[in-house]
Amino acid sequence: MIVKYIAITGGVISGIGKGITAASIGAALQSYGLDVEVLKIDPYLNVDAGTMNPNQHGEVFVTDDGYEADLDLGHYERFLNRDMTKFNNITAGQIYSSVIQKERAGDYLGATVQMIPHVSNEIKARLARLKGDVILIEIGGTVGDIESEIFLEAVREFSMDVGRENFLFVHVTYIPYLKITNEFKTKPTQNSLQLLRRTGIVPDLIVLRSEEKLPESTIQKVALFGGVKIDSVFGLEDVSNIYSIPQKIHDEGMDGMIMHKLNITPSKSFEWHYPDFIRDVKIAMVGKYLATDDAYKSVLESVFLCGYKKPELIDAESLENLDQKHVRDKLGRYHGIIIPGGFGKRGIEGMINVIKYARENDVPLLGLCLGMQLMTIEYARNVAGLAGANSTEFDPQTPYPVIDLMEDQKRKMNLGGTMRLGSDEIKILSGSRLYEIYGKETVKERHRHRYEINLEDFKNIFKISSLDKSDKLFISATSKFAEAVELQNKKFFIGVQFHPEYRSKISSPHPIFLNFLKTCEKE
């Protein structure tokens, strides 16, 4: 089969769900038996998303091969039910540094190195190495951004190289609603279509995102100004369950139109299953990145994919100086608590306060990475009697550094891409709660951290074998490092050094989340 390409551009504003729309188109096409490959293009100058603040840009998603990616790769993994790699993302930072390296190496043989053709060729080379029946290329940002211009140019050139008949341009744009006059406004979309046309790209399909269902007249107007037929403009209003979007895309005939335009004959018929019965169990997630809902995307989606309501985010800093009675006042109504990952000192005492509350009151608690480290600190301070125990990340002078920098991190100077990253094999200790959850002795999980449990100096406060019948904090999974802790006399008190949230998929919710939520449901 000739490889077909779908480029997805964004109009008007970012954050309208272009990634989810792209992932849903991919999922719909994949259900027809097509081999769908994805490339997310991020026009920012960062080499990867690893150094970006989740408060500004949303969570950093980590792939099996240890690549720190934009959170859209998480949507692709969850919707397409398969793992991504570093080849599924490019950033302007990667492209420019590669061009500059080549220039320094003399690879351009005396040429004046220019945006076109040198940078555009570098981008096209990355597009050309993707394999599949259908390649989805999602261009981050919105048309009109300076950063994305060269990517639009490269994609336009590439569409000519592979044959325009094998290429489809989908423009995902936003239609605001004006309450005061009770109408949907198409002007911003008209402008963004003009900006797009100025780059030489005429969209084949337009997807209109809006808060409410759009009237036919709005669709007509966009078709007219967009220069596309009305049957190629699709409205996609907000839905409460994003996993229903592939179904909606199918019901509206968008998948059929895409395949028609690309001359694709599917081998199977459309089929899509998603969680649509959502149990109302109240989970509090006590975190520190509160500026955007995207900061803990994978954790929220992991809970939802198990068929439960998403956790409510609670500001860890607001719990910092509270006594236990007040912590109970704030958290008493929740059936379970999650302490997610994070970096830096801000808010951690609030999280430790919450861990104490959960431990003393036997409230189900799941700690993820930072959460697991803080569970260890709380235990060291309040059960093992090591007052002032801490991580050297937060208190370099702590008398009891129960969490300390990993040995190989001590020599690393750069912050970008230098953590322990990606998938590693982990041994789950038999007799542990974690073993009951996984039902097997070895698993693979993804990591993203610099600090670890300091077992060398504090071995005696932990239980490290199931033969030990004490109630100590049990190191229930290991690799070269301590990978998980649990208190076995509690309903659910488990912390993991890894990130199970990065492995949740639509048809396979992660067993740790599932078990945690089932325990909470009994509360």
User: Interface with ligand GLN by CB under 6 A: which residues?
Assistant: 341-343, 369-370, 373, 393, 448-451
Q: Nearer to ligand GLN by C-beta: 71 or 196?
A: 71
CA angle 112, 117, 122 (to 5 degrees): 110
Nearest distance in Å: CB 497, ligand GLN: 8
Active-site entry in 75, 250, 335, 499: 499
The residue among 10, 333, 233, 261 whose CA lies nearest residue 143 is 10
Residue 166 sits at φ, ψ, to 5 deg, of: -100, 10
Q: Nearer to ligand GLN by C-beta: 177 or 343?
A: 343
Nearest distance in Å: CB 390, ligand GLN: 12
Nearest distance in Å: CB 517, ligand GLN: 21
CA 470 to chain centre: 38
Nearest distance in Å: CB 496, ligand GLN: 10
Nearest distance in Å: CB 374, ligand GLN: 9
Q: Nearer to ligand GLN by C-beta: 87 or 343?
A: 343
Q: Nearer to ligand GLN by C-beta: 80 or 496?
A: 496
Nearest distance in Å: CB 200, ligand GLN: 42
Q: Cis (ω within 30 of 0) for the bond into 117? A: yes
Q: Say whether 369 is catalytic.
A: yes
Burial of 273 (0-12, 13-18, 19+ CB in 10 A): exposed
For the CA atoms of 121, 126, 128, 130, the dihedral, rounded to the nearest 10 degrees, stands at -170
Using Cβ positions, the residue closest to ligand GLN within the complex turns out to be: 341
Neighbours of 339 (CB within 10 A): 30
Q: Are 76 and 23 in contact (CB under 8 A)?
A: yes
Active-site entry in 37, 483, 486, 501: 501
Using CA atoms, how far apart are residues 395 and 377, in angstroms rounded to an integer?
Answer: 12
Residue 477 sits at φ, ψ, to 5 deg, of: -150, 145
Q: Nearer to ligand GLN by C-beta: 98 or 409?
A: 409
354: left (phi over 0), alpha (psi -120 to 50) or beta: alpha
Q: Nearer to ligand GLN by C-beta: 170 or 496?
A: 496
Q: Are 168 and 204 in contact (CB under 8 A)?
A: yes
247: left (phi over 0), alpha (psi -120 to 50) or beta: alpha
CA 444 to chain centre: 18
Residue 303 sits at φ, ψ, to 5 deg, of: -65, -45
In this structure, what token pair is assigned to residue 462? 């932990």
Active-site entry in 75, 153, 369, 452: 369
- Known catalytic residues are 369, 499, 501
